[in-house]
């Protein structure tokens, strides 16, 4: 099918009005940023970082018991729920953990962050609140692929994000 060319007058053909409209918007933002720099949307990253909203899913962490041991009971619920199949767990008998209701613990617990889609299904699936994504860490960088596979010790070392001043009770 042949499409007819639009009928444009000379003003539209030189795009002069559109260029002036675009320049007007640019100048308006430029002047507004000069007058009220505090309302500028741009962050001076990485010196400045954005505060993440409550519930934001950042880098995972494994929570700990009061004695510092891992809370995870190696039930594999998170690995089963994970749609990206990026959680690898090897279970072991607990041994030194004093809580007799616990039968297993993870000998190893790895997450491949390059496969992870940060859906939060692992957090939802965990029956003992052993895995969380409340670290607030969203810039995860490294040099090699294998460096993005974080192990149990690294996951236990991740700290929760501090609550923002207006969230403190
Ligand atoms: S956030 Fe989603 S994709 Fe990532 S480890 Fe958890 S369940 Fe898997
Ligand atoms: S993190 Fe939670 S769901 Fe995953 S294996 Fe440990 S206890 Fe089970």
- pLDDT value for 46: 85
Which ligand is the nearest neighbour of the Cα of 103?
Answer: 2
**59: region left, alpha or beta (phi > 0 left; psi from -120 to 50 alpha):** beta
User: Can you tell me the distance from the alpha carbon of 90 to that of 44, in angstroms, rounded to the nearest whole number?
Assistant: 42
Q: Does ligand 1 have an atom closer than 6 angstroms to the CB of 31?
A: no
Ligand 1 geometric centre to CA of 31 (Å): 44
**27 or 44, higher pLDDT:** 27
pLDDT tens track for 16-41: 899 999 999 999 999 999 999 888 88
Q: Which are the contacts of 145, defined by CB distance < 8 A and separation ≥ 6?
A: 114
Report the chain's terminal Cα–Cα distance, integer Å: 67
pLDDT tens track for 63-115: 999 889 899 999 999 999 999 999 999 999 876 566 777 889 999 999 999 99
Angle at 123 between CA 161 and CA 159, to 5 degrees: 25
Q: Of 102, 112, 96, 108, give the one whose Cα is nearest residue 156.
A: 108
Question: Which of 58, 86, 89 has the most ligand 1 atoms within 8 A of CB, as the residue to mutate?
Answer: 86
Mention the CATH class of domain 61-162: alpha beta
SS3 52: coil
Whole-prediction pTM:
0.75
Q: Which are the contacts of 16, defined by CB distance < 8 A and separation ≥ 6?
A: none
């Amino acid at each position: 099918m042949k499409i007819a060319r639009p009928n444009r007058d000379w003003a539209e053909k030189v795009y002069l009005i559109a260029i002036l409209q675009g320049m007007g918007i640019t100048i308006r933002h430029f002047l507004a940023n000069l007058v009220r720099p505090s309302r500028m949307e741009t962050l001076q990253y990485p010196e400045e970082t954005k505060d993440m909203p409550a519930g934001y899913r950042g880098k995972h962490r494994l929570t700990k018991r009061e004695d510092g041991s891992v809370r995870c009971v190696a039930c594999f619920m998170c690995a089963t729920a994970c749609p990206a199949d990026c959680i690898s767990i090897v279970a072991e008998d607990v041994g030194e953990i004093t809580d007799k209701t616990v039968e297993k613990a993870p000998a190893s617990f790895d997450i491949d962050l390059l496969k992870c889609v940060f859906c939060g299904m692992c957090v939802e699936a965990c029956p003992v609140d052993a895995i969380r994504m409340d670290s607030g860490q969203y810039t995860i960088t490294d040099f090699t692929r294998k460096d993005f596979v974080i192990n149990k010790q690294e996951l236990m070392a991740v700290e929760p994000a501090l609550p923002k001043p207006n969230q403190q009770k």
